[in-house]
Amino acid sequence: MRDWGGVEAGVTGDAASEPTLDVGALPVPSAGLSRRRQAVAALVLVLGLPSLTVVLVDHRSPASLATPVLLVLSLVVVVALIGGLRVALPAAVIGGLTLNWFFTAPYGTFAVDSSEALVVLAVYLGVAVAVSYVVDLAARRTAEAVRARAGARALATLAGAALDEQQTLPDLLERVRQVFGMRQVQLLESTAGGAPVVAAEVLVDAQPDPDEVELQVPAGPHLVLSVRGPALFAADRRVLASFAGAAASALQGRRLAEGASAARELQAADRMRTALLAAVGHDLRTPLSGIKAAVSSLRQQDVRWTDDEERELLQTVEESADKLQALVANLLDASRLQAGVVHVDARPLGMDEVVGRVLLGLAPPDRRRVVVDVDERLPEVAADAGLLERALANVVDNALRHAPVGTNVLVRAAVTEGGVMCEVVDHGRGVPAHAREQVFAPFQRLGDRTPGGVGLGLAVARGFTEAMGGSLTPHDTPSGGLTMRLTLPLVEVPR
């Protein structure tokens, strides 16, 4: 299927033979009742009239035609109810001739010697013809009503499908093809060059019928609905015109929706670039400024630095370089997550082992603020060592940055249903319930209330955790603050 939001789309063969929604074809217009019913009516006449005549002849009376006329008229009404006008008219005439031949004097001839008998036969014939016409007219009206309901139902179905964003334009054209029994349906769009292009098409893999015709119906500005198949009646063409308008509206609506979606994506990308420049610019300048200031101080020839002062300046350089390294690592990790190229090498891991490596990566002052409550006897989890360490390190770093000075961060772990839960607990300002999911958005810095951090740490942590089949969720700390809960599945034990 080609992308019809741009230029073309198409469905052929089996795709057209498997509609996603049963619309149903319009009933074929008929001049009356079906041929089968007409044949049954003729059979009733052929068998019923001779039988009735045989019975009545034995009891005929020259004084009264009432009984034969009423019975023959009843038979004609039955024939009309079954077969309609085409069979009822001959039945009325044949019944009149039968009454004249067998029940009016002189018998055995078509002569009528009584004016009363002539009037009776004339009334009979008029009533029989009138009843036949009424029955046939009712059959026609019923067929038209059924067809009108089918057309309205098809239009309603198409209108609903046109509003459904899950429906493609070829799906809508396939409904048109089903309803009208067409072999090919195209939505053509005129171009500046003059030659129309196919905006969408459905085609059944079948040999063209020599009797098929092509019909084009205007569908809107620069749009034409072209169908190829059996000839359509005037009423069908009106319904087809409504279909054409709905298909054109669907095409235009989809293109507007795609344009709006593209605009939203561009706007989001622009906001992302702005946030990236602002955040990265801030977090690049701070460590670079620290490195430059420390190195410049060490290079001063006219200043004699003590050993403690030199160690302090070198420590500043090291800490600033670590911040730059963490920033670049988070940016690279975020790009990997966005591109979907994160490779997970899951193996059995002990949570205490991972927490220990995370602590070794912290600066000594930060390491002293972390309290660990992780039992080494906890069951192993199935995770990627590098990804889990990066995720947990980002969560711990986030907690340290938001925890008030002088307070500790608690890292604890416990067995939960189907996995191991590791919680990082701080006693900072916390996050309101309505904003908790926002902390996982890239470049989210919680209103810049805290220094440092490009706002990628938690986004990367959740992405890595979910890639390993786990979850990372925020919760309130009972005494105030935020608790990040990282859960990973246990190692599957073979049975």
Q: Do 290 and 244 have their domain in common?
A: no
Pair type for strands 409-416 and 370-373? parallel
What is the pLDDT, as a whole number, of residue 56?
Answer: 85
Q: Do 479 and 392 have their domain in common?
A: yes
Q: Do 267 and 400 have their domain in common?
A: no
Which residue would you say has higher pLDDT here, 153 or 57?
57
N-terminal to C-terminal alpha carbon distance within the chain: 46
pLDDT in tens, 145-179: 877 787 677 667 666 665 665 666 777 777 777 77
Q: Do 460 and 361 have their domain in common?
A: yes
On whether residue 494 sits in a domain, the answer given is no
Beta-bridge mates of residue 61:
64
CB 92 within 8 A of CB 76: yes
On whether residue 445 sits in a domain, the answer given is yes
Q: Do 262 and 199 have their domain in common?
A: yes
- Of 336, 362, 381, the one marking the end of a domain is 336
Tell me how far CA of residue 480 lies from CA of 273, 472, 475, 476, in angstroms. 34, 19, 10, 7
Q: Output the DSSP codes for 306-355.
A: -HHHHHHHHHHHHHHHHHHHHHHHHHHHHHHHHHT------EEE-HHHHH
Beta-bridge mates of residue 412:
373, 423
On whether residue 151 sits in a domain, the answer given is no
Q: Do 308 and 351 have their domain in common?
A: no
What is the pLDDT, as a whole number, of residue 251?
Answer: 76
DSSP 61: B
**Helices 66-83/115-163 angle, 10° precision:** 20
Q: Which helix (H) or strand (E) holds 412?
A: strand 409-416
Task: Say if residue 481 is exposed, middle or buried (CB neighbours under 10 Å; 0-12, 13-18, 19+).
Answer: buried
CATH of the domain at 321: 1.10.287
Average pLDDT over residues 214-220: 78
**What does R_g of the chain's alpha carbons equal in angstroms?**
44
Q: Do 478 and 363 have their domain in common?
A: yes
Q: Tell me: pLDDT of 7 over 70.
A: no
Q: Of 264, 183, 193, which is closest to residue 226 (Cα–Cα)?
A: 183
- Spell out the residues 6+ positions from residue 38 whose beta carbon is closer than 8 angstroms to its own: 32, 83, 84, 86, 87
Average pLDDT over residues 368-388: 92
- Spell out the residues 6+ positions from residue 191 whose beta carbon is closer than 8 angstroms to its own: 197
Which residue would you say has higher pLDDT here, 111 or 348?
348
Task: Please state the pTM of the whole predicted model.
Answer: 0.45
- How many domains are contained in the chain? 4
HSE, CB side, 13 Å, CA atoms: give it for residue 6: 4
Q: Which residue spans within 165-322 are E strands per DSSP?
A: 184-189, 197-203, 213-220, 223-229
How many angstroms separate the most distant Cα atoms in the chain? 154
What is the pLDDT, as a whole number, of residue 455?
Answer: 62
Query: Is cis: bond before 365, omega within 30 of 0?
Result: no
Q: Tell me: pLDDT of 316 over 90.
A: no
Q: Do 472 and 349 have their domain in common?
A: yes
On whether residue 70 sits in a domain, the answer given is yes
Q: Of 202, 201, 257, 199, which is closest to residue 223 (Cα–Cα)?
A: 199
Q: Do 471 and 364 have their domain in common?
A: yes
CA 277 to chain centre: 37
CATH of the domain at 471: 3.30.565.10
Chain length of the chain? 495
- Of 286, 316, 336, the one marking the end of a domain is 336
Q: Which structure tokens are listed for 415?
A: 């067995």
Q: Which structure tokens are listed for 290?
A: 């620290």
CB 84 within 8 A of CB 37: yes
pLDDT in tens, 415-465: 998 899 999 999 988 888 888 888 887 766 544 444 444 467 888 889 889
Q: What is the mean pLDDT of the chain?
A: 78
Q: Do 131 and 118 have their domain in common?
A: yes
Q: Tell me: pLDDT of 130 over 70.
A: yes
Q: Do 260 and 126 have their domain in common?
A: no
On whether residue 92 sits in a domain, the answer given is yes
Q: Do 352 and 465 have their domain in common?
A: yes
Tell me how far apart the alpha carbons of residues 265 and 260 are, in angstroms, rounded to a whole number.
9
Tell me how far CA of residue 52 lies from CA of 2, 65, 108, 116, in angstroms. 69, 14, 17, 23
CATH of the domain at 12: 3.30.450.40
Q: 315-324: buried (b, 16+ CB within 10 Å) or exposed (e) per residue?
A: ebbebbeebb
Tell me how far apart the alpha carbons of residues 193 and 67 are, in angstroms, rounded to a whole number.
80
On whether residue 283 sits in a domain, the answer given is yes
How sure is the predictor about 74, in pLDDT bands with cuts at 50, 70 and 90?
confident
Q: Tell me: pLDDT of 96 over 80.
A: yes
Structural domain boundaries enclosing 366: 342-489
On whether residue 30 sits in a domain, the answer given is no
- Of 336, 352, 375, the one marking the end of a domain is 336
Ramachandran class of 103: left when φ > 0, alpha when ψ lies in -120 to 50, beta otherwise: alpha
CB 230 within 8 A of CB 204: no
On whether residue 282 sits in a domain, the answer given is yes
